[in-house]
């Protein structure tokens, strides 16, 4: 644009002034909207579910003497509350065992207290509620051994060994790749797990029940003919074996969901699966029909994918990985929208990786370069408007001095400081 005369120059100056004013206004509006979005995200961070996993490892480190146990249990709940969290996902069945005196499973080797002397789990539930903490009973449905548990340690009168040693029920427990599992295809197994959920909810005032990602094990290249292939053939199913297996898992999830809501209508049932959908939907492992679960109202109240990756996660070739936090999160949001899901979406975060050299494809891992990764991940998730809760793995890392700055930054977000 050219202005050749005096009036033209004046017009140009007026136009330039108007343009600058417009730019400033746009920038100010953007800043205001950005700040408003940040304030809204911070407000949302103080609402919704904010839980921490308390595993069999944490149980094994608790005192065995009653008074000392109770003191430490109170400290656990105080720590959770002080860090702005409002829930504990606590193991009650981790290896087809129990962390209380059960009529179904043997007492866990990881429970330090003698349940004949005092009820450690009962105290944990009571202490959680006294500290304003929800108590969610965490179960691994099919695992018998592995993860620090050997078959030789399984009690002879346990349901697992009684089934395995009886020719008529031997197939209820399967040995695969060195570990033992309850057979997901067996109705007796499904009924057993549902009974265990019922027992926990009868004995204890739990606020929810949760399964994590221990469903079918990774079956490898022989998946089409191994593990429970015998039951598949005997079933006469015309479905591909992968779909048949997904139906087995879904039948359990549906039955547990119904039992949880029958026992306590206000309680919730959720699952915390592996994060990357390409693995969750694999025909060689897990066998989770996630689309069916999310599109229905009869399986889960919430889904909590374990997005245990940073923002900068890369592949071996240096490209951004589909596991990178925001990529993976968006995959889940898109999946929820595709299924028009009413299931709540929570996100699991990897506190255990913070300040470690956990491989992420970078020369220097992101986990070593920052101390606010989880705080930023929370804000990024809340900023989508699609996430309403979080799970932090795990309790032992919450009290680890090596990640104190990460915990402080996360606490500020959860407390709205």
pLDDT of amino acid 280:
97
Confidence of residue 42 (pLDDT cuts 50, 70, 90): low
- Spans of all domains in the chain: 52-142+182-415
Residue 195 CA to its chain's centroid (Å): 23
Q: What is the DSSP string of 99-158?
A: SS--SSSPBPTT--S-TTT--HHHHHHHHHHHTT-EEEEEE-SSB-S-SS--GGGS-TTS
Confidence of residue 8 (pLDDT cuts 50, 70, 90): very low
pLDDT of amino acid 244:
98
Is 207 in contact with 267 (CB distance < 8 Å)?
yes
pLDDT per residue as tens digits for the range 191-227: 999 999 999 999 999 999 999 999 999 999 999 999 9
Could you give the count of Cα atoms lying within 13 Å of 45 in the half-sphere of its Cβ?
26
SS3 labels along 17-31: HHHHHHHHHHHHHHH
pLDDT per residue as tens digits for the range 245-265: 999 999 999 999 999 999 999
Confidence of residue 28 (pLDDT cuts 50, 70, 90): very low
**How large is the average pLDDT for residues 339-352?**
98
2/133: higher pLDDT: 133
pTM of the model: 0.90
Q: CATH: 3.30.390.10, 3.20.20.150, 3.40.50.620, 3.20.20.80. Which one for 52-142+182-415? A: 3.20.20.80
CA distance 62 to 72: 7
**How large is the average pLDDT for residues 380-406?**
98
pLDDT at 41 over 90: no
3-state secondary structure of 389: strand
pLDDT of amino acid 45:
73
pLDDT of amino acid 46:
75
pLDDT at 3 over 70: no
pLDDT of amino acid 171:
98
Exposure class string for 362-385: b at 16+ Cβ within 10 A, else e:
eeebbbeebbbbbbbbbbbbbeee
pLDDT per residue as tens digits for the range 71-81: 999 999 999 99
**How large is the average pLDDT for residues 14-18?**
42
275/43: higher pLDDT: 275
pLDDT per residue as tens digits for the range 261-295: 999 999 999 999 999 999 999 999 999 999 999 99
180/37: higher pLDDT: 180
pLDDT per residue as tens digits for the range 71-112: 999 999 999 999 999 999 999 999 999 999 999 999 999 999
pLDDT per residue as tens digits for the range 348-385: 999 999 999 999 999 999 999 999 999 999 999 999 99
């Amino acid at each position: 644009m050219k202005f050749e005369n005096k009036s033209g120059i004046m017009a140009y100056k007026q136009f330039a002034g108007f343009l600058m004013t417009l730019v400033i206004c746009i920038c100010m509006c953007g800043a205001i909207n950005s700040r408003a979005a940040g304030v809204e995200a911070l407000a949302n961070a103080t609402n919704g579910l904010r839980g921490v996993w308390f595993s069999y490892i944490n149980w094994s480190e608790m005192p065995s003497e009653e008074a000392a146990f109770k003191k430490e249990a109170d400290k656990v709940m105080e720590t959770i509350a002080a860090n702005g969290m409002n829930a504990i996902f606590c193991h009650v069945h981790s290896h087809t065992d129990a962390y209380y005196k059960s009529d179904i499973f043997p007492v866990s080797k990881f429970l330090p207290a003698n349940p004949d002397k005092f009820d450690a789990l009962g105290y944990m539930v009571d202490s959680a509620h006294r500290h304003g903490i929800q108590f969610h009973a965490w179960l691994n449905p099919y695992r018998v051994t592995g993860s620090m548990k050997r078959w030789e340690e399984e009690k002879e009168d346990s349901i697992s060994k009684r089934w395995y040693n009886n020719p008529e029920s031997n197939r209820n427990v399967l040995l695969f790749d060195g570990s033992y599992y309850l057979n997901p295809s067996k109705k007796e197994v499904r009924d057993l797990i549902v009974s265990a959920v019922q027992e926990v909810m009868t004995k204890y005032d739990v606020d929810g029940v949760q399964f994590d990602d221990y469903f079918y094990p990774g079956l490898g290249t022989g998946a089409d003919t191994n593990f429970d292939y015998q039951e598949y053939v005997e079933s006469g199913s015309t479905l591909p074996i992968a779909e048949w297996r997904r139906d087995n898992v879904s039948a359990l999830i549906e039955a547990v969901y119904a039992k949880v809501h029958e026992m306590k209508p206000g309680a919730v049932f959720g699952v915390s699966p592996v994060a990357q959908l390409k693995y969750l939907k694999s025909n060689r492992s897990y066998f989770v029909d996630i689309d069916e679960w999310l599109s229905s109202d009869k399986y889960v109240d919430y889904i909590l994918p374990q997005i245990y990756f940073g923002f900068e996660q890369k592949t071996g070739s240096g490209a951004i990985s589909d596991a990178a936090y925001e990529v993976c999160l968006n995959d889940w949001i898109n999946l929820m929208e595709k299924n028009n899901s009413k299931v709540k979406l929570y996100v699991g975060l990897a506190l255990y990786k913070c300040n470690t050299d956990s491989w992420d494809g970078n020369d220097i891992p992101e986990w070593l370069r920052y101390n606010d990764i989880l705080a930023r991940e929370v804000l990024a998730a809340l900023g989508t408007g699609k996430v309403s809760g979080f799970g932090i793995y795990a309790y032992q890392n919450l009290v680890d001095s090596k990640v104190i700055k990460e915990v402080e930054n996360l606490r500020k977000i959860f407390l709205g400081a």
